[in-house]
């Protein structure tokens, strides 16, 4: 880990950081041998203490957990109007896949199936469904630098 030489901020939430790295040092070695230097990853992450609520933009083929729910699944009648959750609105079911990608997906399904999208849901249920987990992305320096 290395601390930046300088940093700048554009309000409210854009940051710039400068590191004392050469291009070769940032890119690292090919990685054919585990003893080689892998280079540098730059990590972008959302603050976990600032929760966001919303839904996906793209529709999933089926909803296995509430994280798969998109705006198109609950689209209001007119753009800019509120989502109406009433007994008359169609319930959105979770569908258990034939096989889960991993144990964490099974655990998520087991938690999510206890919450139902219908007219009887509470505000806490809706907040649970709409909560967006903070994102963390790591990008290798080789993907950001021009070839030498």
Per-position pLDDT tens, the chain of length 148: 788 899 999 998 888 899 999 989 999 988 788 888 889 998 888 877 888 898 888 888 888 888 888 888 887 666 677 777 765 555 677 777 767 777 777 888 888 888 888 888 889 999 999 998 888 999 999 898 877 6
54: left (phi > 0), else alpha (psi -120 to 50), else beta? left
| Residue 120, in any domain of the structure | no
From CA 76, how far away is CA 5, in angstroms rounded?
Answer: 48
Q: Give the DSSP H or E segment for 53.
A: strand 52-53
Q: Count the Cβ atoms, other than its own, within 10 Å of residue 23.
A: 12
| Residue 82, in any domain of the structure | no
| Residue 27, in any domain of the structure | yes
| Residue 87, in any domain of the structure | no
Give the total number of structural domains in the chain: 1
Host domain of residue 39: 6-49+135-144
| Residue 11, in any domain of the structure | yes
Report cis status (omega within 30 of 0) of the bond before 14.
no
| Residue 139, in any domain of the structure | yes
From CA 26, how far away is CA 22, in angstroms rounded?
Answer: 6
| Residue 58, in any domain of the structure | no
């Amino acid at each position: 880990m290395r601390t930046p030489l300088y940093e700048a901020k554009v309000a409210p939430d854009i940051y710039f950081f400068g590191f004392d790295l050469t291009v070769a040092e940032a890119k690292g070695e090919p990685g054919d041998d585990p003893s080689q230097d892998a280079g540098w990853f730059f990590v972008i992450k959302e603050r976990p203490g600032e929760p966001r609520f919303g839904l996906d933009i793209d529709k999933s083929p089926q909803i296995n957990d509430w994280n798969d729910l998109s705006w198109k699944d609950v689209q209001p009648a007119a753009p800019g109007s509120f989502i109406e959750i009433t007994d008359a609105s169609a319930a959105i079911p979770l569908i258990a896949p034939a096989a889960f990608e991993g144990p964490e997906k099974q655990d998520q399904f087991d938690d999510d199936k206890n919450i139902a999208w219908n007219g009887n849901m509470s505000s806490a249920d809706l907040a649970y469904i709409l909560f967006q987990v903070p994102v963390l992305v790591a990008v290798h320096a080789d993907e950001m630098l021009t070839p030498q």
